[in-house]
């Protein structure tokens, strides 16, 4: 466990947006513009409509069931942080903690979050050495972690499955092309078992989970302001956030950012793809093979 201490000032931001693109754009904007040393640490929380979020260095063709997601109106998004692929919906709570790099401590964050949830609900969440969280008994993963560090600041963000349709989750993350692609892109490590809070406590819900975490976070600081943020309005009124949003929604970022790969097709045909384009052409590699 890290031995670093927190600062004296904290802030909680509760996003009212259910749009993954808006929330990730707002998170990135805070990371780039908010000075933790001057203005204190930040906890940002939100939930969004059904979405699969891949890590910065991943390949959506290997990580995502693209046809299933397109047929079921599930968004495909690439985030700025590394790590593996996760599924979000309104039964999931996204938690993002902004600190200085020196104060960045995933185990400490997971400890206060799991303690708060275990006190709020009749559940037993245990952080793991991989900086995930699992429901016990059964080693059921209910939270995945990723981080971004730059310019002396860091954010640690994580998912929290409160209520989930595991069939949709599993189908979304089961790429039919996974074995046909050769790539050096980061591959997700699939959890042997997945769980969600409502499995163990029927009274568990996102609102109460958010409140429990918010109150536990507030107690870590001498001063902690709590603010509900109309992220949709902020994004569309701020030119810099709007630029981040535009990039996040672009084909070039979601698909073209994928590391170079080779697709093995029928009759042993090979298609090489770089920046999302078939090498030697200007043709985009299909997202619905």
In the predicted model, what is the mean pLDDT of residues 24-47?
A: 97
pLDDT band at 26; cut points 50, 70, 90: very high
Q: Please check whether residue 285 lies inside any domain of the structure.
A: no
User: Strand 270-274 relative to strand 261-264: parallel, antiparallel, unpaired?
Assistant: antiparallel
Domain that holds residue 45: 9-257
Q: Please check whether residue 276 lies inside any domain of the structure.
A: no
Q: Please check whether residue 288 lies inside any domain of the structure.
A: no
Q: Please check whether residue 264 lies inside any domain of the structure.
A: no
In the predicted model, what is the mean pLDDT of residues 209-237?
A: 97
User: What is the C-alpha to C-alpha distance for residues 123 and 179, in angstroms, rounded to an integer?
Assistant: 37
Length of the chain: 289
If one counts the domains in the chain, the total is 1
**Which distant-in-sequence residues (6+ apart) come within 8 Å of 146 by Cβ?**
55, 79, 81, 82, 83, 84, 156, 157, 158
* Cis upstream peptide for 118 (omega within 30°): no
Kindly report whether the global pTM for this prediction surpasses the value 0.75: yes
pLDDT of residue 287: 72
Q: Please check whether residue 269 lies inside any domain of the structure.
A: no
Find out whether 36 and 250 touch, Cβ atoms under 8 Å.
Answer: no
User: What is the C-alpha to C-alpha distance for residues 138 and 47, in angstroms, rounded to an integer?
Assistant: 26
Q: Which CATH number do you get for residue 220? A: 3.30.930.10
Distances (CA, A) of 253 to 23, 122, 190, 241, 247: 16, 41, 24, 16, 6
Percent of the chain with pLDDT over 90: 91
Percent of the chain with pLDDT over 70: 98
Q: Please check whether residue 266 lies inside any domain of the structure.
A: no
Q: Please check whether residue 270 lies inside any domain of the structure.
A: no
pLDDT of residue 7: 73
Paired tokens of 128: 């793991």
């Amino acid at each position: 466990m890290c031995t670093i201490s927190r600062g004296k000032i904290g802030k909680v931001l509760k996003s009212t947006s259910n749009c993954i693109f808006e929330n990730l754009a707002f998170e990135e904007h805070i990371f780039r513009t908010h000075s933790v040393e001057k203005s204190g640490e930040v906890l940002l929380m939100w939930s969004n409509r059904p979405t699969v979020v891949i890590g910065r260095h991943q390949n959506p063709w290997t990580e995502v069931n693209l046809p299933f997601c397109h047929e079921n109106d599930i968004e495909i998004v690439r985030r700025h942080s590394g790590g593996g692929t996760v599924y979000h919906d309104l039964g999931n709570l996204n938690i993002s903690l902004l600190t200085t790099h020196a104060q960045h401590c995933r185990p400490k964050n997971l400890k206060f979050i799991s303690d708060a949830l275990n006190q709020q609900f009749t559940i037993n969440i245990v952080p793991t050495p991989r900086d995930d969280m699992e429901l016990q008994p059964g080693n059921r993963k209910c939270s995945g972690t990723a981080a971004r560090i730059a310019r002396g600041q860091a954010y640690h963000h994580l998912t929290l499955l409160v209520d989930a349709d595991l069939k949709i989750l599993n189908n979304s993350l089961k790429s039919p092309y996974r074995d046909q692609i050769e790539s050096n892109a980061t591959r997700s490590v699939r959890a042997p078992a997945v769980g969600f809070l409502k499995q163990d406590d029927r009274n568990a819900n996102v609102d109460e989970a958010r409140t429990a975490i918010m109150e536990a976070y507030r107690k870590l600081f001498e001063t902690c302001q709590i603010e509900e943020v109309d992220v949709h309005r902020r994004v569309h009124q701020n030119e810099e956030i709007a630029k981040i949003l535009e990039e996040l929604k672009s084909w070039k970022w979601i698909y073209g950012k994928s590391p170079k790969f080779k697709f093995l097709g029928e009759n042993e045909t090979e298609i090489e793809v770089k920046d999302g384009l078939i090498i030697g052409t200007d043709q985009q590699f299909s997202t619905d093979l």
